[in-house]
Chains A and B, each alone.
Chain A
Amino acid sequence: MKQLSLIILLICSLFLSGCVEKEILDDLYVETGKAYDYVGENKIRGTALFPIYLSDKSIQNGTLSAEASSTREVLEKLERRAQQPLVRGSLDVVLIGEKLAKKGIIDIGDSLQRDASVGARLYVTVVEGEAGELIKGNYGLRGNGTYISNLITHNIKRRELPETNLHLFLFNYFQEGQTAYLPILKQLSNESIAITGVALFDKDKMVKKIPSEDMFFFKLLVDKLAEGSHVIKMGKKPGAAEETVEASVTSLISKHKIIIKHKSDPVEVTMRIKVRGIVREYTGKKLTPDKVGEVEKKMEKDIEEKCLTMLKEFQELGIDPVGIGQNQKHGVRGFDIKEWKESIYPRTQFNVDAKVQILEAGTVE
């Protein structure tokens, strides 16, 4: 009897004081997207995006905006306007306005990293224009957050956007001898968004944009395995005046290999790029095996030119999204990052060596 009353006492006390805070699903506003814009000195505007589920299973996009001096204060101000608590566990995308990106975004990165409920797979992107405006649109049928994250996901998987998420961003940011990069979105209308390029960062400030035509080459340089397609301009059609023959090559697998001669002075870097692809479209007459060879050679030339230009630009700006510095560190003992940044990297010589192999050309010749 004594044991039983002790057990009852314990169970009662358990239910009274052992409880933890509940977050019942339908009483929450689950944030799927966040947008930060630069408003003025020490002021940012944060907009939270959350889906409102209607009873006919359709999803309405709800947004709330507030201005404050730090991301945490923005959240507090937003909470004061929200009907239900705002929670960040399902955050899918974080959009950062261009102006704010140029000023520095590591605070946002830190707040996302520190919060235990935020996942590491969310997408951080830069927005051309105002991020808050973009997030207030109405895209797709399943909510803006899902729309944007799906847009980015399939472009990473099959097309020319390099692999990115919060974890990779922070990895690159903290890595010695590497700098970070993020995709750039632009709002085209109230119903559509487009990816317009890749933003390159020096530390946490945006310094350069790579336009969408060059994303393919950038992806070849940074991603381990890359897909994507590229249109090669082949030169004039015989007989025609203005039109050029174009061949569209989709790369199935591309690999890059960075070969560094660590000890030589200046350090020599060779990028060996191997592309295996198929021809998807060809506007010329007949795609004979000779023509295929021509396409291959032209593509190789394109790749080598473009990549070399890009690498030199990075060198001039002092940024290193490809991670040359990190590669150098792998081969040298006692690597000094300061020395690298100041004297060795600006003098590095680059070489790009591309090899393209076209496997198939479709069902017709």
Chain B
Amino acid sequence: MQAIPDRRKISPFLVFFLIHSIQVGAGVLGFQRIISMNSGYDGWISVILAGIVTHVLMFIMYLILEKSGGDLVSAHTLAFGKWIGNIFNLLFAIYFSLLVITIMRTYIEVLQVWMYPRLSTFMFALFFLILVYYIVNGGVRTIAGTAFFGTVLPSYLILTFAFTFKYADFRNVLPVFDHTIKDILISTKNMSLTYLGYEAILMLYPYIKEAKKSQKYAHWALFTTTTIYTLIAIISFAFFSQKQLEKTVWATLSMWKIVEMPFVERFEYIGIANWCLVILPNVCIAIWCASRTIKRMTPLRHRHALIIICILCLCTLTFITDRKQVNFLNTISGQIGFYFNFFYIPALLVLVTIMKKVRQKQ
């Protein structure tokens, strides 16, 4: 892998924003229903558990990256050799493209249900992808800037949940631990889709200055995400009664229906429009990771790989039309992400450690 010039790298502090912004995406809009399906109002425990798991996985990922001295492609080459490694690289690229498709389609669905029923999926996706191409064209620094603004500017949205306190009953979550451990663990697994995205660090690692220092920022980012999700979960549980929550598909958005400010009557339109800024870094980072993986495996240039992936995503996106299919898409992404993170990453660590020792001996 050719060395990356210093003026293209980002400072380690920005890793916080990168990781945090790629995690907060479309999942946070409706995850409350999913976790309450199995563990009822103890779901907030699964949120915390899932968060802890991500910390462990991030730690493992940093170990892999340090050992392989580069990014995921280097790790694959080290562990499997070039040809089998390339198969895994391709799978990885497909996985990230899947994330892109999931996030975009979910957001477009939210738009179509809440704001514009006649919004053309193709048109919006096309223009969104053009915007994404423009930003990714600017390199990692521009993407990090998007992540920074995508975290800082919409941060006021957290404050709007204060309006729900008047109608919330926080004792709804009592009694605690009223469900079996098995239920809670199932919810933890279902929660994984909402936390996905931090695997991007596997491709971003070479672009960070003094990469070892960035580990603590990455963990801070995961911690922030976990805290925010837990807070939102608890507030949602206080605000909705359990059967009501089971019917509410997008609980976070329904909570915004109760916000009332003197100069706007209904806040959810502002919130949903702002959400475009929140998911923009998600799509940018994921598409960058996918196209970079392709560039590292094949002689294609990064820009060309980017265009190809954009076109593929756009085509796939347009064919997913109704609620059932979107649901299916979300579930599949969640499952694949879960198995990838939970099983494949530790296995990769083991393989890389072994192969490194073998290579050293040679």
- Which A residues are within 8 Å of any B CB, using their own CB? 10, 13-14, 17-18, 20-21, 89-90, 113, 116, 119-121, 163, 165, 167-168, 170-176, 178, 327, 329-335
Contacts and interface: CB of A to CB of B under 8 A. Distances in A.
B175 A333 contact: yes
B149 to A, nearest CB: 24
A167 B116 contact: no
B323 to A, nearest CB: 13
A99 to B, nearest CB: 27
Nearest to A224: B169
A334 B175 CA distance: 9
By CB atoms of chain A within 10 A, which of B124, B130, B243 has the most? B243
A14 B123 contact: yes
A168 B118 CA distance: 31
A116 B266 CA distance: 11
Given A330-B174, A331-B174, A176 B127 contact: no
A158 B247 CA distance: 34
Given A121-B258, A168-B167, A171-B244, 10 more contacts: A10-B126, A21-B118, A89-B266, A113-B247, A171-B239, A174-B247, A175-B243, A176-B241, A176-B242, A176-B243
B5 interface: no
Given A90-B265, A174-B243, A21 B130 contact: no
A171 B123 contact: no
B224 to A, nearest CB: 29
A17 B120 contact: yes
A171 B255 CA distance: 12
Contacts of A331: 174-175
A167 B241 CA distance: 10
A121 B244 contact: no
Interface string B237-277: 00111111001000000100110100001100000000000
B175 A330 contact: yes
A163 to B, nearest CB: 8
Contacts of B120: 17-18
A171 B116 contact: no
Nearest to A114: B247
9 contacts: A14-B127, A18-B124, A21-B117, A120-B257, A163-B167, A172-B241, A175-B243, A329-B174, A330-B175
B113 interface: yes
A163 B169 CA distance: 14
B241 A174 contact: yes
B171 interface: yes
B178 interface: yes
By CB atoms of chain B within 10 A, which of A89, A119, A165, A333 has the most? A119
A147 to B, nearest CB: 17
A167 B118 contact: no
A168 B257 CA distance: 13
Contact of A18 (B117, B127, B239, B244): B127
Contacts of B260: 121
Contacts of A10: 126-127, 130
B114 interface: yes
Contacts of A20: 116, 118-119
Given A17-B123, A18-B120, A18-B124, A119 B257 contact: yes
A7 to B, nearest CB: 10
A167 B167 contact: yes
Nearest to B266: A119
Interface string B121-161: 00110110010000000000000000000000000000000
